[in-house]
Structure 1
Amino acid sequence: MGISAAEDSAMTRAFALALNGPRGVNPQVGAVLLAPDGTVVAEGWHRGAGTAHAEVDALSHLGPEGGRGLTAVVTLEPCNHQGRTGPCSEALLAAGISRVIFAVDDPSPEAGGGAERLAAAGVDIEQGFRRAEGEQLLASWLRTAELRRPHVTVKWAQSLDGRAAADDGTSQWITGPAARADVHRRRAAADAIVAGIGTILADDASLTARADDGTLVASQPQPVVIGRTPTPADAAVRRHPRAPLFYDTHSLPNVLSDLRDRGIQTVFVEGGPTLASAFLRAGLVDEVVVYIAPALIGGRNLALADIGVDTITDARRLSVASIDRLGDDLLVVARPSEGES
């Protein structure tokens, strides 16, 4: 039957409502309920794990007449499973909703299938309406749902000959101020920043995101430290605005699984050659961000260590997404080629 102007406007509103909810384990979802004449009857959004989903939140604002004959406009396909809350598909059916429009299919094998359930009960379904905008809104959550872990970016800085430090261990600063400012922008955009205990001990890294003048920016990543050596009580990372997470393990899949359970969707790994190499060796990297300084250092301290490549045919092939100049430095962003991990 097509999409009306009122339904199009309702989807715009639903996208805005979704942003009221927190980023976390569950997606940000907005919902708008329309009367047959296009009048907005109720609105809702998801306020976090364990709370009512957007559709149920909107239904809760209805009067005793319920939702009979109403249209639900939702940013994500209504769920079809019993979690901490009941299936949204069943709630919509019980309310008497006659039409459902949604932007993005739920990729979860556990929660998906709501549209099929509703259609089987005679509800008119319009799926994929303004899908691209919905996918943009949910981009990091969708990646996390697909990967079953957070999206991982590994960053390092190196000289032109591939060194991360001089033989005496000094590494500050290989790159210039423009590159360092870009690093802090990327830190601020990530949900978590991960470093190994070696970096914490060697550099007393604070794992904060800072502005050009050195002050802390408002959005700070969750600091994460991996390694079995205890972090000193006076370490700078312990003064981070957010309490650090410490993992006394070498199991990166277990770390990522726990971070996902905590609602972390994007991880920025900035822990030196040992940790970067471990993530690459384990096939847990979705993007590499490499800052290259026009300098020659030589010596032993390569930017990467063993990543499991014994012969050239085993080389990890990447696709270059972008190459940018930052002052005198180059920034290369690359991702595993199809079939690589």
Structure 2
Amino acid sequence: MDDLSAAKSWLSQAEKAYEAANSIMAMVSTAKMKRAKEEEVIYLATMAKIKGLTAEAKAKEQTTAAKLKETQKDLADYQSAIAVMKEKLQEAENAKKIQAKAEAERKHLEESQRIADEIEARKRKELAEAERKTAELEAMKQREVREGRLKEEKRIAEREREVSQAKLMEAQLGAQRVKEAHEIRAREEKFTEEKEKMAVMQARLQALEQEKAMLIAAGKIPKVTAEAGDKKIIMTILVIDLFTSASDLTPAGKKILDGVGDFFKSYPDSKVLTRGHTDSTGKAAANQALSEKRAQEVREYLVAYRNVSPGRVTAEGVGSAQPVATNASAAGRAMNRRVELIVLTGEP
């Protein structure tokens, strides 16, 4: 472009020189015509040079346009490459987020498993302690029954002796026969009353023996904690062992309920109440509804898949109203999220 400007400048100067030459040629003599021709030659040479420079400038302009077009294409390719790199970078960021989420879920599962293991160990310890206390209670009951039976047998023998003596006295003392007959009848009624009390005691002992057998059998069901109450056995299953985060039974939870159903088949006369519990997290109304739903799910599974009579099983939920541990820790909340199966033993 600088050469073109220079050429134009030279052309302008040449034109001026040509005009000056014509003016001089008109004014001067023939002797100066030669000088004018020389200037004309210079002018023509200058014009030829200008044409050459002009052609060269046009060629450079075309080359510059081609390079500009190629540069624009390279720029478009570069922009496309940047877009692809941005997509790949976004994919990498998404992959990092997914990996971080998976790691968090893995840690959560590990923590849940650790809590479950701790609870299972505590359950085994509590079961061993319950069996020890049950054995002590059984020994004490057997001792009391033996002592009571001996005392009762002694009383019966004494009463029989008294009856025999009364009958002998009736034969010997005719005047007192009517009076003694009344006394004998009273003693016999007392004897009958004592026998009835003994029968009640025997029934009580049988009920306690059945309760003990039920408690031991319930404690052997995996993931189930069993304890004796007032004329009932309370079987507790943690929600983490039964359900998903909502109220859907897991395959492992169904397997636990299969064991519970087999237990109920061994005691077909027992009534059962399924009671759902939650921790204190969330709103009370939502917790109440969730506890009822979980209790109902357990009842429906036992009825539908383990052939437990619908009339034997009822369901209720109490929300977070009956905690067994603090809600201030994760372990405590896990223990409060549970379903209880309350089995009425039917003892007198």
Structure that is richer in strand per residue: 1
Whether these two folds match at TM > 0.5 is: no
Greater relative CO, 1 or 2 (CA 8 Å, sep 6+): 1
Which structure is higher in helix share? 2
TM-score for the superposition, normalised by structure 2:
0.25
